[in-house]
Structure 1
Amino acid sequence: MADQNFDFRDQRSLKVVIVSHCILNQNSRIATCAMSGNTMPGVVEKLILDGYGLIQGPCPETELFGLQRTGMDIDSHKDPKPASDGEIYDRLNADENIDALNAMAFQLATTAKEYVDNGVEVGGILGIAGSPSCGVKVTYRFGLQEGQGAFIEALGRALRSLDLDIPIIEMNDARPDKNLQVLDAIQVRDMTD
């Protein structure tokens, strides 16, 4: 062991991206909503190749309602119907859950601030199109509609409370080609800073 030469120079890229939980773990999604077996295709590989470390955010739906939660099913996009136990967006914002949702968001924003305060660029926060929790431009609330998911709304408030200006960017499971174009824009932003 004494003959090993360790290189203790700082090898870090000093840049990270915060990703919605299911980008790294599709197993956290409602069974009928997972579009791949493990991670969001191409996104993880692209971020690693571009030199980003990955910070996995929490899955508020799994944390609060478990893996057996109900919600929309694949046919709900054609014929939206409320889930038997209420829409996930509304359940996340319910009195009994809002404090936990806000705490998760504030903890993630605090983590981002720790990185920023220590010279690490947070290139963005990646949300999920159509998610009742992590939608950025499109959420699901009694059908797909424009707007942010409940967790992204809470995260935006938490970031503002800490004076952080980090772009929140939407990934779309159904459009892997577009995701890579969006991630290229993060890289361009990084090079112009």
Structure 2
Amino acid sequence: MADQNFDFRDQRSLKVVIVSHCILNQNSRIATCAMSGNTMPGVVEKLILDGYGLIQGPCPETELFGLQRTGMDIDDLKDPKPASDGEIYDRLNADENIDALNAMAFQLATTAKEYVDNGVEVGGILGIAGSPSCGVKVTYRFGLQEGQGAFIEALGRALRSLDLDIPIIEMNDARPDKNLQVLDAIQVRDMTD
């Protein structure tokens, strides 16, 4: 083994993107809501080809409520109704959960700051359209509606508290073509900064 030749030159790209947990692991989603078997189609491949390292954020829903949680399913998109044990957005913001939610958000923001402070570009944070946790422009609270998910709201507060200006960008499971266009815009932003 001593005769192996290792090349220890730094070959890091020095750029990362923070992704919502289910972008890398669709198994964390509520049953019936995963639109692929493993990762969000095209997104991971595109980011890797563009030279980004990936930081997987936590799934607040799984962390706080487990994989057997209830909430939105495909039928709810057609006929919105309250989930049997309360809406996930409201449960995340409930007194018994808000401290844990804020701690997860602050930890992720602190990780982003560590990268930024050490010369690594954080190209963006990718959320999920329609998620009660990670929605950026559209969330789910008694039906789809405009607004951010509970975790993205908390993450925005945490980023501001650390004076970080990182774009939070929405991905949409149902629109893989649009996701790739959005990711191209991140790449264009990188080249113009």
User: Percent of aligned positions with the same letter in both sequences?
Assistant: 99
Work out whether 1:7 is the aligned partner of 2:7: yes
Structure 1: how far apart are the matches of 2:167 and 2:84? 35
- Offset of 1:100 from its aligned partner? 0.1
Structure 2: how far apart are the matches of 1:3 and 1:95? 59
Q: Report the aligned-residue RMSD.
A: 0.4
Structure 2: how far apart are the matches of 1:32 and 1:97? 25
- Offset of 1:109 from its aligned partner? 0.0
Stretches of structure 2 that go unaligned for 5 or more consecutive residues are none
Would you say how many aligned residue pairs link Structure 1 and Structure 2?
Answer: 193
Secondary structure of the corresponding residue to residue 54 of structure 1: strand
Structure 2: how far apart are the matches of 1:182 and 1:73? 26
Partner of 2:169: 169
Stretches of structure 1 that go unaligned for 5 or more consecutive residues are none
Secondary structure of the corresponding residue to residue 8 of structure 1: coil
TM-score by length of 2: 1.00
- Offset of 1:154 from its aligned partner? 0.1
Secondary structure of the corresponding residue to residue 133 of structure 1: coil
Structure 1: how far apart are the matches of 2:15 and 2:38? 24
- Offset of 1:125 from its aligned partner? 0.1
Q: Deviations over 1:57-115 (max 9, x none)?
A: 00000000000000011110111010110000000000000000000000000000000
- Offset of 1:32 from its aligned partner? 1.1
- Offset of 1:44 from its aligned partner? 0.1
Secondary structure of the corresponding residue to residue 16 of structure 1: strand
- Offset of 1:173 from its aligned partner? 0.1
Structure 1: how far apart are the matches of 2:63 and 2:170? 22
Q: Where does structure 1 differ by over 3 angstroms across 4 or more consecutive aligned residues? A: none
Map of 1:77-96 to 2, 5 A cutoff?
Answer: 77-96=77-96
Q: Deviations over 1:93-141 (max 9, x none)?
A: 0000000000000000000000000000000000000000000000000
Q: Which moved more, 1:132-141 or 1:1-10?
A: 1-10
- Offset of 1:168 from its aligned partner? 0.1
Structure 2: how far apart are the matches of 1:149 and 1:83? 16
Secondary structure of the corresponding residue to residue 51 of structure 2: coil
